[in-house]
């Protein structure tokens, strides 16, 4: 069986990739690219955290609605007993 270490990148490969990026984009464009990449990653993280926050909010709202419904039904039962 043949094993190809596709994910194992050494320092030589990183230097070659960095040199190719420098030649392709130039020194002025690389900081802009990295900045936009960082913004994209932070938006992605916010999106993931936002989904969990929405889920937690909906669960919290459901619990409150259940509590309100049970309180309303108990108040109605007490009112019907008084009549």
Q: What string of pLDDT tens digits covers the 83 residues of the chain?
A: 556 566 788 899 989 998 998 899 888 888 898 899 999 999 999 888 876 555 556 666 666 666 666 655 555 555 556 55
pTM as predicted: 0.42
All residues at 6 or more sequence positions from 30 whose CB lies less than 8 Å from its CB, including other chains: 21, 22
Any idea which residue has 């669960």 for tokens? 59
Query: 19, 22, 3: which is closest to 11 by C-alpha?
Result: 19
């Amino acid at each position: 069986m043949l094993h190809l270490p596709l994910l194992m990148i050494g320092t030589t490969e990183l230097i070659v990739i960095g040199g190719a990026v420098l030649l392709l984009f130039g020194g002025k464009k690389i900081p802009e690219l990295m900045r936009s990449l960082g913004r994209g990653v932070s938006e992605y993280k916010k999106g993931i955290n936002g989904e969990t926050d929405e889920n937690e909010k909906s669960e919290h709202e459901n619990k409150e609605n259940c509590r309100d419904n049970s309180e309303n039904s108990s108040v109605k039962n007490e009112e019907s007993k008084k009549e």
